[in-house]
Amino acid sequence: MKSAALDVVGIGNAIVDVIAHSDEQFLAAEGFAKGAMTLIDAERAEALYQKIGPAIESSGGSAGNTMAGIASLGGKGGYIGKVRNDLLGDVFRHDITAIGVQFTTPSADHGAGTARCLIMVTSDGQRTMGTFLGACVDLGPEDIDVDLIAAAQVTYLEGYLFDPPRAQEAFRKAAAAAHNAGRKVALSLSDPFCVGRHRDAFRDLVAGNVDILFANEAEICSLYETDDFFRAAHAVRGHVEIAALTRSEHGSIILADNLTHQVAAAPVNRVVDTTGAGDLYAAGFLYGLTQGLPLPTCGAIGSLCAAEIISHVGARPEASLHELVATAGVV
Amino acid sequence: MKSAALDVVGIGNAIVDVIAHSDEQFLAAEGFAKGAMTLIDAERAEALYQKIGPAIESSGGSAGNTMAGIASLGGKGGYIGKVRNDLLGDVFRHDITAIGVQFTTPSADHGAGTARCLIMVTSDGQRTMGTFLGACVDLGPEDIDVDLIAAAQVTYLEGYLFDPPRAQEAFRKAAAAAHNAGRKVALSLSDPFCVGRHRDAFRDLVAGNVDILFANEAEICSLYETDDFFRAAHAVRGHVEIAALTRSEHGSIILADNLTHQVAAAPVNRVVDTTGAGDLYAAGFLYGLTQGLPLPTCGAIGSLCAAEIISHVGARPEASLHELVATAGVV
């Protein structure tokens, strides 16, 4: 196995977030499940935008957020995802490359515009998302750069990528390319409803093609169709080398070999917007792992990164995560 | 004089902010004066965007920020400014109308795109701006809706509006329309270099057409070409009914009749980004004034609004300013 030039390559839906404050009544009236991601079409996205309050625009996408986090930590990363050659596509490309992530997937020059996610943040800091996939539906196996995959210690796949029609094929091609090069494959389950839409495919993948799994309580419970988190945690053990299961303010548990590591959440003054919490936990964890750090340290870095992201509006880091981790003294 | 249907109408450059973290070395290398606003052309804006780090996009523009603040306080407002019918123009229009501000100026359907301001925020929270005026140069006297002006207690003009070529004419038309309707005219000096570019025109306006003047220390000193703030404060007295002079962490002083009111700054946990501090002080002050509150209370509301805006990235309020003021108990 060649030594890796990159730490992590992320593959995901390339999305620009449109973030507005909202309230429970509005979510209910619009039929959104609070805290979850709902797919919407272009028309619904436009109608919803007209109804929401003032917003800020910020590059997003689950794996995109994770890669921005790894770059901010000092890691070397790449990204594969599809934008349109329009203004939001330029914004997405600028933001991820400006922080040093390799992003060479060509932009679509026709078809739907760059994907948008309307994120409605309630006063408790929770976020509820309506996603118009736009140009993301153009991502296919032809976009998987196998040399980029082979150059990275870990290929990281977001579960949301199972929604666009041709991405599962891209997903499996990437996983195979990673394993052929002797690399690891990581998967985030992304969202309990997304798991519900693709449960068989996810179980199949977790049983045979995933080395490192990220999930929160609702997602791992959805995967194994149980209400009992510990039953779900028991079910996943043995299927993957490492499972990092996040539990909001209760921190995370990491299952590996026959061991269970408990990791505390990092303190936060005030939870402003939980968008990106899971993405940034994964960033911290994978950064630690690719640096060869012990699993509890990987989890502690994940907790610190998640705490930074939920302390402000938006899912991309505002502070240098490298400095944050150095100051906290966990490494 | 008819009773006013609106509290304040703002007229300004309609701009979308592109906000990135930066450092002093970069500002020096690019030739920017720290803390100031520099005009740049489309080519320079594009080249600079390629060099800055990851950014968020947020509606801005000095008077636009002020009107968003007044709306968040519960005031009734209108806005006049020029965007292009493009994506950023749609974003600007959405954000200002979503909060309840009347914005009926037609979008330009040809010519330069919607204006952008590249805001570079240093670790001390200070912001340095490079503005591409874009579609703002199309604003002319034909865009001044005299019925809207006549309907508002105060017409608020941002000094930056002196930069695009035909806006001074629009400016004077608006001021005349306000006074013809028995209304007040307020002016913000915006930026010391902007004052330097148009000093004679500003002095002329302040001497004859402005009732309420907003300026910070550097701006009022630039207007009267002195290094001595108290000399500048002395010079402005008598020219305007009310001068509200802001002094960052030292609060503000309000000059009216022969009285001087000292107003403290409101406490801030951590200064994250000073963009919009002056705009939101003006919002709080004008809201108080149009509600008929005493001048020291107007200043105290201004201080609270400025404190909210500098505690996060971006120049539009994230919290409800109405609730903030109610909680603080200043009214």
Using CB atoms within 10 Å of the CB of residue A65, give its burial: 0 to 12 exposed, 13 to 18 middle, 19+ buried: buried
Can you tell me which residue has the tokens 């977001």?
A: A158
| CA distance to partner chain B, nearest, from residue A20 (Å) | 9
Contact A135, A84 (CB under 8 A): yes
Angle value at C-alpha B289, between B286 and B290, nearest 5 degrees = 85
Is the pLDDT assigned to residue A288 strictly greater than 90? Answer: yes
CB contacts of B56 in chain A (<8 Å) are: 56-58, 314, 316
Is the pLDDT assigned to residue A12 strictly greater than 70? Answer: yes
pLDDT for res A4? 83
State pLDDT tens for residues A15-47.
999 999 999 999 999 999 999 999 999 999 999
Contact A59, A95 (CB under 8 A): yes
Instruction: Please state the rounded mean pLDDT for residues A285-305.
Output: 98
pLDDT for res A11? 98
Quick one: which of A119, A194, A111, A189 has its CA closest to A157? A189
| Nearest chain B residue to A18, by CA | B57
Contact A115, A133 (CB under 8 A): yes
CB contacts of A313 in chain B (<8 Å) are: 312-313, 318
CA distance A37 to A49: 16
- Contact yes or no for A21 and B318 at CB 8 A: yes
Interior/surface letters B149-183, b for 16+ CB within 10 angstroms, e for the rest: bbbbbbbbbbbbbbbbeebbebbbbbbebbeebeb
Instruction: Please state the rounded mean pLDDT for residues A68-94.
Output: 98
pLDDT for res B195? 96
- The tally of CA atoms less than 13 A away on the side-chain side of residue A311 is 16
State pLDDT tens for residues A155-195.
999 999 999 888 889 999 999 999 999 999 999 999 999 99
CATH 3.10.310.10 fits A6-14+60-112+135-328, yes or no: no
What's B186-221 look like in SS3? EEECCCHHHHHHCHHHHHHHHHHCCCEEEEEHHHHH
For all residues of chain B together, what is the average pLDDT? 96
State pLDDT tens for residues A100-149.
999 999 999 999 999 999 999 999 999 999 999 999 999 999 999 999 99
Task: Read off the tokens for A139.
Answer: 């991502």
Cα separations in angstroms, A153 against A161, A295, B214:
21, 16, 57
- Contact yes or no for B55 and A95 at CB 8 A: yes
Instruction: Please state the rounded mean pLDDT for residues A293-307.
Output: 98
Q: Phi and psi of A54, rounded to 5°?
A: -60, 145
Question: Angle, nearest 10°, between helix axes A62-73 and A321-328?
Answer: 60
Partner residue facing B318 (CB), from A88, A98, A313: A313
Q: Which superfamily does CATH assign the domain made up of B6-13+61-111+135-328 to?
A: Ribokinase (3.40.1190.20)
Task: Read off the tokens for B107.
Answer: 């979008």
Quick one: which of B126, B147, B174 has its CA closest to B12? B174
- Contact yes or no for B54 and A91 at CB 8 A: no
Is the pLDDT assigned to residue B1 strictly greater than 70? Answer: no
| CA distance to partner chain A, nearest, from residue B98 (Å) | 5
State pLDDT tens for residues B285-302.
999 999 999 999 999 999
Is the pLDDT assigned to residue A207 strictly greater than 60? Answer: yes
Q: How confident is the model at residue B29 (pLDDT cuts 50, 70, 90)?
A: very high
| Nearest chain A residue to B86, by CA | A87
pLDDT for res A286? 98
Q: What percent of chain B has pLDDT over 90?
A: 95
DSSP state of A320: -
Query: Residue ranges per domain, chain B?
Result: 6-13+61-111+135-328
Q: How confident is the model at residue B331 (pLDDT cuts 50, 70, 90)?
A: confident
Among B318, B320, B322, B327, the residue to mutate for chain A (most A Cβ within 10 A): B318
State pLDDT tens for residues B254-288.
999 899 999 999 999 999 999 999 999 999 999 99
pLDDT for res A51? 97
Is the pLDDT assigned to residue B4 strictly greater than 90? Answer: no
DSSP state of A181: T
| CA distance to partner chain A, nearest, from residue B97 (Å) | 8
Structure-derived torsion over alpha carbons of residues A16, A128, A245, A153, reported in degrees to the nearest 10: -10
The answer for B127, left when phi > 0, alpha when psi is -120 to 50, beta otherwise, is beta
What's chain B look like in SS3? CCCCCEEEEEECCCEEEEEEECCHHHHHHCCCCCCCEEECCHHHHHHHHHHCCCEEEEECCHHHHHHHHHHHHCCCEEEECCCECCHHHHHHHHHHHHCCCEECCCCECCCCCCEEEEEEECCCCCEEEEEECHHHHHCCHHHCCHHHHHCEEEEEEEHHHHCCCCHHHHHHHHHHHHHHCCCEEEEECCCHHHHHHCHHHHHHHHHHCCCEEEEEHHHHHHHCCCCCHHHHHHHHECCECEEEEECHHHCEEEEECCEEEEECCCCCCCCCCCCCHHHHHHHHHHHHHHCCCCHHHHHHHHHHHHHHHHCCCCCCCCCCHHHHHHHHCCC
Report chain A's terminal Cα–Cα distance, integer Å.
Answer: 27
Contacts of B202 (CB under 8 A, 6+ apart): B159, B162, B187, B189, B195, B223
Sheet-wide strand order for A259-263: A102-103, A77-80, A6-11, A152-158, A184-188, A212-216, A242-246, A252-256, A259-263
Among A72, A94, A103, A270, the residue to mutate for chain B (most B Cβ within 10 A): A94
CA distance A169 to A150: 18
Q: Where would I find the beta strands (DSSP E) of chain A?
A: 6-11, 15-21, 37-39, 55-59, 77-80, 102-103, 115-121, 127-132, 152-158, 184-188, 212-216, 242-246, 252-256, 259-263
CB pairs under 8 A between A and B: 63
pLDDT for res B30? 96
Task: Read off the tokens for B165.
Answer: 């070529």
Q: Phi and psi of B143, rounded to 5°?
A: -85, -10
Task: Read off the tokens for A314.
Answer: 């938006």
State pLDDT tens for residues B190-229.
999 999 999 999 999 999 899 999 999 999 999 999 999 9
Report chain B's terminal Cα–Cα distance, integer Å.
Answer: 27
Quick one: which of A327, A326, A328, A308 has its CA closest to A318? A308
pLDDT for res A128? 97
A52 touches chain B (CB under 8 A): yes
Partner residue facing A54 (CB), from B49, B86, B316: B316
pLDDT for res B222? 97
The complex scores an ipTM of 0.93
pLDDT for res A1? 54
Cα separations in angstroms, A15 against A37, B71, B294, B317:
13, 30, 48, 25
| CA distance to partner chain A, nearest, from residue B100 (Å) | 9
Helices (H), A113-253: 146-150, 167-180, 192-197, 199-208, 217-223, 229-236
Q: What percent of chain A has pLDDT over 70?
A: 99
A17 touches chain B (CB under 8 A): no
CA distance A97 to B303: 38
Sheet-wide strand order for B55-59: A37-39, A127-132, A115-121, A15-21, A55-59, B55-59, B15-21, B115-121, B127-132, B37-39
CA distance A175 to A155: 7
SS3 A210: coil
Quick one: which of A300, A298, A315 has its CA closest to A266? A300
